[in-house]
């Protein structure tokens, strides 16, 4: 049994009272050495007798159950006590209401997510060897699921790879990172060189690491926004790189492009579109860089119309089409998709055999799910009405908050209103390089469906 004062120190002295207390109850029990209230840890929590290196954070029963079920987050409102000196970004042990050791994680004092647990192994030391091991696990996994092709993929997907708050995408020799955790920000000088080391041990040369930290979520962690090269590792001057995905070449602007520069999560979904597009008249909505449209064209589509509200995106899609020799049967339109679908419906006719809907996330919080559902329903309803009997609809949502059951319910409602039925061909998710950790629902975000409209 170990006795801890609220100052986080083990005290070998006896208690002044004659009874033991559970952790974080505060009767008059005091330490004779320092006179601070004493915390008594029993049974499985004997780990605290040996782990005096980090402060201890106690949590509610609800948080305990969540952690035991595999979710690594402790919310600020779930913290019931803090023992020892806690600083922003430090490591801390997490204990149950009865003092059981639940894990060790990184603290974010300004975030609603107060602790991100890294490991529930009480023997873990969190040295550079720990981080190298986590990175190597992530890289080895990608080697398997990407069939040995690491040229363009997500190398690290935060919580799903046991490195919460870190995203790392690989575009050829360039690694583009995004950090959304204060603790990882403090550790990046350890982690980034290890990413390079692990990759080069696998024969993958790293030309540079570029940070895309220009996201508002960082403010919630008390971190500044910004973007630029990680200067501790040599890097080129150019902030664009050429990649090849599914046999199609793109120039990725990782300085100014959306997210880290390219949507790697749809790689295999785009390949499915190519497999179905032969001989069809295809409308690709929210085309961005033209990736779905280009895959359809490469797959032998009779014609492809690519639409986006951004003229910059339309110009980029057109440039990519020309580069790949696919522009002859492609049309590029700068328009609001909602308005365009309405205009096409008013004109009547069935001008397309396949419509692809790949919109940006319509909701990034639970508060706006209802309005997002209305937006998704509107575009899907209009697309269903435009398609002929036997036409194909590919539709998706990249919002975690728009769950698969809710998205499917919306699709059923849209089909009913459009007086059509949907034959489901495929229900897919993000690529395997964006793994879904079942105990962390936030890692499951992309829904992708292909239907035949009858």
DSSP for residue 229: E
Q: Is the distance from CB of 27 to CB of 21 less than 8 angstroms?
A: yes
Q: How many helices (H) and strands (E) does the chain have?
A: 10, 22
How far is 68 from 440, CA to CA, in rounded Å?
12
* Residue closest to 113 by CA, chosen among 188, 224, 186, 217: 217
Is 398 labeled as catalytic in the residue annotation? yes
Q: How far is CA 140 from CA 7, 58, 135, in A?
A: 42, 35, 9
Q: Cα 330–334–335 angle (5° rounding)? A: 120
Catalytic residue, from 11, 31, 285, 398: name it. 398
Sign of CA dihedral 193, 194, 199, 201: positive
Strand bridging mode 91-95 / 56-59: parallel
Q: How far is CA 281 from CA 215, 297, 355, in A?
A: 38, 10, 9
Judged by DSSP in three states, 297 sits in: helix
Task: Report the largest interatomic distance among the alpha carbons of the chain, rounded to a whole angstrom.
Answer: 88
Residues marked as catalytic: 398
């Amino acid at each position: 049994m170990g006795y801890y004062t609220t100052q986080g120190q083990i005290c070998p002295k006896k208690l002044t009272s004659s009874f033991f207390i559970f952790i974080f109850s505060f009767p008059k029990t005091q330490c004779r050495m320092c006179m601070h209230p004493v915390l008594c840890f029993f049974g499985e929590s004997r780990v605290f007798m040996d782990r005096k290196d980090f402060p201890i954070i106690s949590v509610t029963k609800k948080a305990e159950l969540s952690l035991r079920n595999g979710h690594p987050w402790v919310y600020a409102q779930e913290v019931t006590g803090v023992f020892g000196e806690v600083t922003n970004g430090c490591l801390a042990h997490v204990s149950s209401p009865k003092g059981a050791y639940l894990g060790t994680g990184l603290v974010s004092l300004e975030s609603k997510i107060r602790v991100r647990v890294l490991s529930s192994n009480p023997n873990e030391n969190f040295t550079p060897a720990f981080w190298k091991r986590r990175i190597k696990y992530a890289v080895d996994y990608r080697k398997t699921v990407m069939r040995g092709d690491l040229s363009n993929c997500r190398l690290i997907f935060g919580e799903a790879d046991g490195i919460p708050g870190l995203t790392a995408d690989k575009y050829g020799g360039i690694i583009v990172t995004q950090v959304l955790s204060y603790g990882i920000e403090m550790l990046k000088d350890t982690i980034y060189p290890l990413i390079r080391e692990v990759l080069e041990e696998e024969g993958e040369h790293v030309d540079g690491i570029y940070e895309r930290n220009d996201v508002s979520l960082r403010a919630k962690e008390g971190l500044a926004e910004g973007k630029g090269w990680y200067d501790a590792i040599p890097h080129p001057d150019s902030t664009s790189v050429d990649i090849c995905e599914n046999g199609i070449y793109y120039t990725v602007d990782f300085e100014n492009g959306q997210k880290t520069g390219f949507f790697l999560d749809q790689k295999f979904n785009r390949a499915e579109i190519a497999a179905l597009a032969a001989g069809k008249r295809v409308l690709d909505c929210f085309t961005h860089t033209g990736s779905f449209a280009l895959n359809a064209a490469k797959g032998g589509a009779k014609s492809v119309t690519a639409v986006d509200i951004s003229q910059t995106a339309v110009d980029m899609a057109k440039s990519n089409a020309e580069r790949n020799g696919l522009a002859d049967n492609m049309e590029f339109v700068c328009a609001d998709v909602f308005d365009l679908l309405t205009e096409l419906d008013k004109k009547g006719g069935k001008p397309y055999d396949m419509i692809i809907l790949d919109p940006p996330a319509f909701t990034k919080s639970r508060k706006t799910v209802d309005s997002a559902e209305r937006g998704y329903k509107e575009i899907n309803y209009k697309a269903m009405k435009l398609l002929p009997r036997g036409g194909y609809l590919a539709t998706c949502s990249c919002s975690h908050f728009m769950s698969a059951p809710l998205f499917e319910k919306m699709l059923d409602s849209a089909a009913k209103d459009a007086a059509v039925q949907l034959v489901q061909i495929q229900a897919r998710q993000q690529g395997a390089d964006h793994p879904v950790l079942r105990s962390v629902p936030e890692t499951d975000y992309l829904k992708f469906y292909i239907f035949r409209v009858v």
